[in-house]
Structure 1
Amino acid sequence: MSETGLVTDNEAQNELIEAAIAEISHIATLPEVTMKIIQLVEDPDSTAQDLNKVISNDPALGARILKVVNSAFYGLPGQIGSINRAIVLLGLNAVKNIAIAASLAKLFRGGKICNSFDAHDLWNQAIASATATRLLGEKIGLGLPDEAFLAGLIHDIGMMVEIQAKRPKFVEVMQKLEENPDGKLREYEEAVIGADHEQFGAALCRTWKFPQSFAYVTGFHHHPWDLPEKHRTLASLVHVADIIVANLGIGFTRGVEHKEIMPSLLEELKLSMEQVEEISTKVPEAMEEASTIFSLG
């Protein structure tokens, strides 16, 4: 696998991943307006006015963005009444990340897929991981709270690709997990589907033209130490957040392979176990706030 987590050395596996991504492109994808926002923000010639114009065409999305901006999530002084003001205060990139986060909930509306899996549980786990990643990012002075939050929110998005494009095989994977309490999700995905959710997630990030940092997160959140050091921080934070959430028992937790955080990883992030424990206590309440903003409704 390359360091992007997007390509494997196995040609048949690459074809399988590409076919699955093509399959979901007409089943479940980001709304057109969100795709336009991504393209716009990636264009160096774009202005805040251009972004404002696109968001204005989708009043519901505009309302959700303002809801986020005015929440405790950002802690900005006073009420922000316009998208334009939000863009000025937060910047184009932050507003783009909020728009993506606000659009993602619709992909998790699948409900109960089989006895041992409900898409709502995956969404709850995603929201909790997003919350924990943001809190961890704040603790280490990362800045970019919206990017940290979105990274946590999308880290398991590859599972939604499997649900949409390979549902019978995904159900088989879940049954194997249910039968084997010590079994590992990625191993069963590889055996049954032919690729794992990290590979599907990283490929989806490429298709949706997400920044490379999100491909690293989706492709390496179970083993961030395999990334080059300069690309490791966000994926490492998500890895730690994932373990925090699994230990709290929030949502779908069977994807997590380690219940303990590697001391070397904490050292690299300049985090102590005490700080991790302190953040763990804050996650449930902070998650409640985030669930209200990014609801499945």
Structure 2
Amino acid sequence: MAFLFPEHPMSPATATTDAETEAMIRGSIDEISHIATLPEVTLKIIELVDNPDSTAQDLNKIISHDPALGARILKVVNSAFYGLPGQIGSINRAIVLLGLNAVKNIAIAASLTKLFRGGKICDGFDARELWSHCIATATACRLLAERAKLGKGDEAFLAGLIHDIGIMVEIQARRTDFVEAVNHAVASEGTFRASEIAVLGATHEQFGAALCKTWKFPETFQNVAGFHHEPRLLPEGARALAVLVHIADHLTKTLELGFTLDVEGELDPALVAELNLTQADLDEIATGLPEAIAEAQGVFSGG
């Protein structure tokens, strides 16, 4: 069964912001547009797949203009990550087997690796740790989606991969303030999100939702970026993917996988139950998570 989400009338980028804050967020997004963004070919893929008249041939034609991206997509498709029978030698064949939307999600995931490159910028933050956390969360999302029989593991994986993309906005557009927020959160008894608001004027969720909107990501991904810490702020029928990421986020923190300073409090069992999961399910997934993460890192890191 696929994820089905109705239109959410409230934009996650503006649901909890005033005009001044929204303008600040918009300025930060504009600032990074010339620093780092998704490759143009990936943005074209997103636009194409969102067009209901697009065909597999249209998608294949776009990807063929970027051999490096095509090679990365085939690397993913032919990995144990997908477990397809036989070796897939062409993008067109991959599209036929997986569908346009799945290939789009793989293209985005493959393109994101370059945006997360970097190193330690202060004692409390290392970009490599953020990437490790995002890969771990994405892998957990995929396993949780399979266990909950939600379908579309590629969509769940990408949701986990992009959930903290707002932190990259903060680093690129407001690095000094971001460092101050991290240092404040580490030194105080307050939360990272409270420090973000005090220093930056907004949280990484707000920055992330705005960036996803700029990149024309589906509203479901805007909601994940904007509400993964508080999925109950979304309507019940529109929050399954955000709840999935929220659970995965807590699972990776429990296992101390990468940067998790922003993950607050304890996981509410009621949210786990919303996806028809149990604590036993989480325990079993946690046991197999390190091996699955190693596979995902081998597929999505580098290149």
TM-score band, normalised by shorter chain: over 0.9
Deviation string for 1:126-152 (max 9, x for gaps)? Answer: 000000000000001111111000000
Q: Which amino acid aligns with 1:199?
A: Q
Deviation at 1:227, TM superposition (A): 0.6
C-alpha distance in structure 2 between counterparts of 1:281 and 1:207, whole Å: 37
Which of 57, 60, 63 is the equivalent residue of 2:68? 60
Which of 150, 171, 181 is the equivalent residue of 1:142? 150
Secondary structure, in 3 states, of the residue corresponding to 1:46? coil
Deviation at 1:232, TM superposition (A): 0.8
Deviation string for 1:242-284 (max 9, x for gaps)? Answer: 00000100110111002x3212111211110000111111111
Which of 32, 40, 44 is the equivalent residue of 2:40? 32
Deviation at 1:174, TM superposition (A): 1.1
Which of 128, 138, 141 is the equivalent residue of 1:130? 138
C-alpha distance in structure 1 between counterparts of 2:182 and 2:270, whole Å: 32
Which of 250, 253, 267 is the equivalent residue of 2:257? 250
Deviation at 1:75, TM superposition (A): 1.0
| Ranges in structure 1 where 5+ consecutive residues have no aligned partner | none
C-alpha distance in structure 2 between counterparts of 1:136 and 1:142, whole Å: 9
Contact 1:134 1:149 in 2 (8 A): yes
Which of 148, 161, 179 is the equivalent residue of 1:171? 179
C-alpha distance in structure 2 between counterparts of 1:167 and 1:161, whole Å: 9
Give the alignment of 1:216-235 within 5 angstroms.
216-235=223-242
Q: If the length of structure 2 is used for normalisation, what is the TM-score?
A: 0.95
Verify: 1:280 aligned to 2:278, yes or no: no
Deviation at 1:229, TM superposition (A): 0.8
C-alpha distance in structure 2 between counterparts of 1:3 and 1:281, whole Å: 38
User: Identity rate of aligned residues, in percent?
Assistant: 64
Secondary structure, in 3 states, of the residue corresponding to 2:121? strand
Q: If the length of structure 1 is used for normalisation, what is the TM-score?
A: 0.97
Contact 1:130 1:153 in 2 (8 A): yes
Q: CA RMSD in A?
A: 1.0
Give the alignment of 1:84-233 within 5 angstroms.
84-180=92-188, 182-233=189-240
Structure 2 counterpart of 1:261: 267
Deviation at 1:183, TM superposition (A): 2.3
Q: When the two structures are aligned, how many residues end up with a matched partner? A: 294
Structure 2 counterpart of 1:51: 59
Q: Which amino acid aligns with 2:48?
A: L
Secondary structure, in 3 states, of the residue corresponding to 1:51? helix
Secondary structure, in 3 states, of the residue corresponding to 1:113? strand
Q: Which amino acid aligns with 1:80?
A: I
C-alpha distance in structure 1 between counterparts of 2:79 and 2:147, whole Å: 20
C-alpha distance in structure 1 between counterparts of 2:274 and 2:112, whole Å: 31
Deviation at 1:97, TM superposition (A): 0.3
C-alpha distance in structure 2 between counterparts of 1:250 and 1:295, whole Å: 16
Structure 2 counterpart of 1:290: 296
Deviation at 1:178, TM superposition (A): 2.0
